[in-house]
């Protein structure tokens, strides 16, 4: 049996590839959350995105939640430590 695995895309890549281009504030507004909360989710800061938040963001980007490589809450901290 042959199965294919679809590559999961990061939120930033999905947002950039969306036509027309969506800003963070547009996605946050359409998903029913604040801009800062969306920023936290996209950058791996703060608490993990809830299932409802993931579903809402994925719907705005016209993808399934499973197709998104959701960042872990410490991704942003790890990137900053490596760049210092």
Domains of the chain: 11-83 (1.10.260.40)
Tell me the sheet residues that pair with 35.
Answer: none
Which band of pLDDT confidence, cut at 50, 70 and 90, is reported for residue 1? Answer: very low
Residue 37 is predicted with a pLDDT of 97
What mean pLDDT do residues 57-73 have? 90
The answer to whether residues 61 and 69 touch, using CB atoms and an 8 Å cutoff, is no
Q: How far is CA 36 from CA 1, 41, 63, in A?
A: 45, 9, 22
Residue 6 is predicted with a pLDDT of 61
* Model confidence at 2: pLDDT above 70: no
């Amino acid at each position: 049996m042959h199965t294919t695995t679809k590559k999961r895309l990061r939120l930033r890549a999905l947002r950039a590839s969306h036509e027309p281009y969506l800003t963070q504030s547009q996605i946050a507004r359409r998903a029913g959350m604040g801009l800062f909360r969306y920023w936290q989710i996209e950058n791996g800061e703060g608490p993990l995105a809830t299932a409802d938040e993931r579903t809402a963001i994925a719907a705005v980007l016209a993808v399934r939640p499973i197709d998104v490589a959701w960042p872990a809450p410490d991704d942003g901290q790890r990137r900053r430590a490596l760049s210092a």
